[in-house]
């Protein structure tokens, strides 16, 4: 696993450098915060590079890869999160959040009714928190459905 850790660390360094490059293109106005919106992506990339360098320089000699069922679970979770990212703009916040959190909850707990209730509660509850309490401009439902 030493070689696998080093390859993964190197790939993550390349991704972090790409992240820095893409954050460099963020436009800032003269009236923005003096720190600017680029600092957060730079900090994330810096932490990513430091962690990746540790992984490259001090790889774990006894790392175990998860079994095939766990890899399938991770793949499903990844697909749900990617679909969530693409669905949130056309469908609003509540429906994609309810579906994604319900599926992820079902993966963790394995009880469909509880997962559906948790997903619906998180979708509505987080929307209320973000929209009504924090005042963020989130659209709750697809355009033309209200909210």
| pLDDT tens digit sequence for 14-26 | 999 999 999 888 8
Task: Report the chain's mean pLDDT, rounded to a whole number.
Answer: 88
The predicted-structure confidence for 104-146, as pLDDT tens digits, reads as follows: 999 998 899 999 999 999 999 999 998 888 888 888 888 777 7
For residue 86, the 8-state DSSP code is: H
Q: Are 123 and 95 in contact (CB under 8 A)?
A: yes
Give the residue ranges of DSSP H helices in 58-128: 68-91, 94-109, 112-127
Confidence check: pLDDT of 33 > 70? no
Q: What is the dihedral of CA 55, 61, 67, 72, to 10 degrees?
A: 10
Decide which of 10 and 24 is more confident.
10
What is the reported pTM?
0.64
First CA to last CA distance, the chain: 51
């Amino acid at each position: 696993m030493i070689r696998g850790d080093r390859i993964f660390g190197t790939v993550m360094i390349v991704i972090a450098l790409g992240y820095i490059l893409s954050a460099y293109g963020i436009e800032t106005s003269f009236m923005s915060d003096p720190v600017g919106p680029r600092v957060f992506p730079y900090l994330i990339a810096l932490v990513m590079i430091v962690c990746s360098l540790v992984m490259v320089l001090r790889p774990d000699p006894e790392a175990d890869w998860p079994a095939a069922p766990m890899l399938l679970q991770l793949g499903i979770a990844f697909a749900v999160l990617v679909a969530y990212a693409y669905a949130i703009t056309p469908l609003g916040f509540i429906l994609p959040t309810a579906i994604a959190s319900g599926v992820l909850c079902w993966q963790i707990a394995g009880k469909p009714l509880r997962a559906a209730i948790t997903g619906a509660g998180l979708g509505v509850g987080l929307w209320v928190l973000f929209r009504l309490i924090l005042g963020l401009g989130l659209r709750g439902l697809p355009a033309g459905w209200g909210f």
